[in-house]
Structure 1
């Protein structure tokens, strides 16, 4: 606009209003206010125009003004962008461009409520545009309001059905909500649109792992690697899925592949160390954890893992590092939790048991809060299991099943009761493969035992088929396979009625030792809440003992009770008795 006097501009604007040239009038009033923000006549006239329905729609400032905002945004001067955008919106309250820039800038500097409000305004001004709803969803997600985020993503997808980023973000939000099947469906929609997107494949694989669909997760990762064999993250996640299947040698190979691409990949190194530890390869595990800490001295998980393998003496340099880290005020709850468990182990080794107990308790309290655990949830579950149990007898498969070509041995009991040692002994037999802690039984039968799915012959046959199919895949060609998932003790009634050929070995250990060992152990699984509080552990142990007595009333002859403490004192006698019960010929290798 040419330079004209304020009076001339106001007069021209007034004439434009009379001619119903409202947009031109608006520009003139805005020009006056940019030069003289307090001009009362222009402000009142502009307010009047803003209230007129004829204006409607989207009204943006001149391009040079929006370009200035965009330039500042690209320079990263986001706080200034927010201030200027807010000032502009007093003049251009219906500018979708400015509202969007405000929302985007505010979100990036953590002003999420302001960003959400801005994106809502943008969506009103651009009702057919999916992007404001997507941006709103991202801001809700960053704020931790997952339900609102999912709602916003669904709205974006209703406007743009092939919006891959919206499907992906919605999948992440649903995953974080624990809505795994819905999350999986969202990721499948992304894959149909972007079949080679490694990040989406990793996200989908993580959901499959959480669903216990480990074979499918492995297949997804391997398919992706057949297309792109140079992706370290794909190898890392493949290693995690293989580790969850107790295929530890294959997991180590996958982690090594990740490290060959990205040598400083500390998470791959850390998890590889854990795979070595579970294989009993302590030297290799120590080397991996120390390598992690040489690359990242502040890796809390590696500190914790290392502490499980080290017996500390006062001159260990890790002690001062842990003390230093514990003084940091900006740690996340998860990081502080890991440090307390590590420092507890240090003090235990140094003989300060009171301090050790205090730090185990603090770490446990942090973990319990993270998991939002309440003993009441397990009390209700155990009560429901007892209610369901009689129906298992009514619909038993014992008279109808065909002879198996693979036989499971369930090794069960409380965690930390000695199930690992028992599996090692049994799997030393030439006819047996030790498959580790398999999530199969819980995956296929937990809904039945919790009363969420009907007990019927059809459903029990489905459990049998699915479990045995999964067992064959990890059998390494052996006809007898151990499953040492401790919490399978909850499913003994189902095992006896669905797998009548199976053997059940219940491992029990001194109650105080069992409870204390659980209390001191940091469990990575989010499904274990009770070990983090000593009172919860004692209450849970009583639930476990009560349920085992309940199972004994109906299935005493099918459960072999093995005393772990006797096993450690009289290994040969107890091992021979165990092998006899399992109908396995004696082999001296079982004592090795």
Structure 2
């Protein structure tokens, strides 16, 4: 409270009367008898008498319906509250309430002590009593809103905050709590309006800008959110909330290097803050630095070993580096803290095989059937059950679970394949005639590093190809980068929708923004791979904007590829065509047709690699793809499984082993269930091939 009083006085001296008054009201909502806050608010209001100040709705109880306890007793309770002796406040306050049942200040103080003791249900009852004793006292409903938020009763919290704001439109805390309740109940747009009111009332209070930033972030307006969080930091340079939010927003904007700088600087100021360490670890993970992730997560867990999310983050870093044993140990720690966490269970058993007789198989089956769990989480658990039944040879039971899991995911996150097909028809039409000229300066200033895009269907072997070329001393394997999707989205090419044509301005933007991001990944190697498979959609823009780029197109057996997409779960919604047999087949046919078109339009820039040829004639095919990206051969490319680097795809375990064959036949036990896929593939399905 003393710190808040000092901040209010500082705002008053600087001329921000509204901000100072807002802070004084917040104090009086909790401590109606605080003389210093009353005097400050009186000064902000132009100097009315103490009695008049007491009648202000948000200041102190306006018109007690009954007698108040003697001032000495109220002061003693006030002091006990400030000392954190909440049990004493509750016990002594409730004794006094028997004698003074309609004293709003006393009732409010009892309720606050209950709230601070995490007895929120009881606190709500006492806040209601305080409001009934003085219907004009805005402090009671605003404090009630705080307790309702703690109980997760967000709709009621919003109503209580609205009631406080109606009583005192200038009470910043009411607008902050209303905004919080609205944003966290799914109405971020309405929450934004509340936070903007709070900012207008108290522009020098950091919390108002933080709330606004969170409302904007919830609407995916990350640039605006960043500006709001930076405004909060300008007001409160040492605010860890501001630093964390800035770091996380920079990550959302795909600026992880800036996020690292921001969070690193904040961690220097608070070197034992585990939340900062964990968020910094996440930013380092975005930059493909699993060793730093492990170091930071370990430090955070030394301070706060009860954080399940940080254990999971540590586990994922070990998994990316191929250390399954360490990953499982960390997942076990996370599950010890939160045993029924669907994500933790799924990630653990994606890392190591689950057996039918393990207790977790039954537990996952129970969670899979629970309708109160998010459909996407249930779907993920279903893929674990499928893999376990598949390994046990129970193919019909396995497929029944797999089909159900895919239906759950498709219902939760629909994918409109027809829209994508129309979009790609429009894309082809833009490049059907004369190709656009490369941007000015593209020839004179070649890209450093030079990008190599590895494309194809997901599960076609793109991770294996990247692992081979990333074993070369001159290549940095960057993994699956989201940058082209973001750049094309900014040009209007969102899901199923056509955007800007390849004008000189659009191509310049593609070149500048994509190469700018690659330079942020902090590598001195001259070649960098981006193995986002479905970047094949954007090759016309990329190869026109960056003619020095090269493309490795990995093609795999149609049924093997489509089955692998159908039987695996992917992060995000971009690959959700895989949730439907016909959509998966349609995407396969689209990628074959589109890649044939790009190869004809950009001769010499695209090299096709057969997954089957690569797995049966490793050295010859590996030499071919290394030559295709303009590099001399190195023997390390044959020992790709020994290369230590982060791999964040579902193929992370496969690329740690020597080359193997046979995975193309995994669909055959399910042939009877895959008629929709085979029909949609048509002749590509090769129905005459023996079973």
**Could you state the TM-score of these two structures normalised by the residue count of structure 1?**
0.81
Whether the 8 Å contact between 1:475 and 1:481 is mirrored in structure 2 is no
What displacement does 1:345 show? 1.8
Whether the 8 Å contact between 2:256 and 2:283 is mirrored in structure 1 is yes
2:434 and 2:214 mapped to 1: Cα distance?
A: 38
Whether the 8 Å contact between 1:112 and 1:139 is mirrored in structure 2 is yes
* Residue 360 to residue 95, structure 1, CA distance change in 2 (3 Å): same
* Residue 564 to residue 86, structure 1, CA distance change in 2 (3 Å): same
Whether the 8 Å contact between 1:187 and 1:200 is mirrored in structure 2 is yes
Whether the 8 Å contact between 1:426 and 1:432 is mirrored in structure 2 is yes
2:337 and 2:149 mapped to 1: Cα distance?
A: 33
Whether the 8 Å contact between 2:111 and 2:124 is mirrored in structure 1 is no
Alignment match of 1:439 (pick from 473, 477, 482) = 482
Structure 1 residues 503-512 or 100-109, which shifts more? Answer: 100-109
Counterpart for residue 545 of structure 1: 592
Aligned pairs for 1:115-154 within 5 A: 115-154=157-196
* Residue 159 to residue 566, structure 1, CA distance change in 2 (3 Å): same
- Is residue 230 of structure 1 aligned with residue 260 of structure 2? no
SS in 1 for 2:220: coil
Structure 1 residues 120-129 or 310-319, which shifts more? Answer: 310-319
- Is residue 251 of structure 1 aligned with residue 289 of structure 2? no
- Per-residue displacement from partner, 1:92-114 (whole Å, max 9, x unpaired)? 55443444355445555455444
* Residue 321 to residue 116, structure 1, CA distance change in 2 (3 Å): closer
Gaps of 5+ in 1: 1-55
Whether the 8 Å contact between 2:141 and 2:164 is mirrored in structure 1 is yes
Whether the 8 Å contact between 1:413 and 1:507 is mirrored in structure 2 is yes
- Per-residue displacement from partner, 1:254-313 (whole Å, max 9, x unpaired)? 223323333344323322322232233333333333443345433432321232233344
Alignment match of 2:576 (pick from 513, 522, 529) = 529
Aligned pairs for 1:74-153 within 5 A: 74-76=113-115, 79=121, 93-153=135-195
Counterpart for residue 525 of structure 2: 478
1:444 and 1:466 mapped to 2: Cα distance?
A: 7
SS in 1 for 2:186: coil
Gaps of 5+ in 2: 1-54, 69-102, 640-691
What displacement does 1:318 show? 3.2
Counterpart for residue 195 of structure 1: 237
1:269 and 1:110 mapped to 2: Cα distance?
A: 26
- Is residue 557 of structure 1 aligned with residue 557 of structure 2? no
Alignment match of 2:379 (pick from 333, 337, 343) = 337
Aligned pairs for 1:174-573 within 5 A: 174-326=216-368, 330-371=372-413, 373-375=415-417, 378-379=420-421, 381-389=423-431, 393-397=435-439, 400-404=442-446, 405-448=448-491, 450=493, 452=499, 455-474=502-521, 476-573=523-620
SS in 1 for 2:435: helix
Structure 1 residues 234-243 or 58-67, which shifts more? Answer: 58-67
SS in 2 for 1:583: coil
Whether the 8 Å contact between 1:432 and 1:479 is mirrored in structure 2 is yes
Counterpart for residue 42 of structure 1: none
Counterpart for residue 61 of structure 1: 64
Counterpart for residue 44 of structure 1: none
What displacement does 1:60 show? 4.2
SS in 1 for 2:553: strand
SS in 1 for 2:203: coil
What displacement does 1:564 show? 0.9
Alignment match of 1:582 (pick from 615, 629, 634) = 629
- Per-residue displacement from partner, 1:208-244 (whole Å, max 9, x unpaired)? 2122112111221212122222122222222222222
* Residue 141 to residue 342, structure 1, CA distance change in 2 (3 Å): same
* Residue 536 to residue 172, structure 1, CA distance change in 2 (3 Å): farther
Aligned length: 537
1:117 and 1:263 mapped to 2: Cα distance?
A: 38
Whether the 8 Å contact between 1:303 and 1:342 is mirrored in structure 2 is no
SS in 2 for 1:280: coil
Whether the 8 Å contact between 1:395 and 1:455 is mirrored in structure 2 is no
* Residue 323 to residue 427, structure 1, CA distance change in 2 (3 Å): same
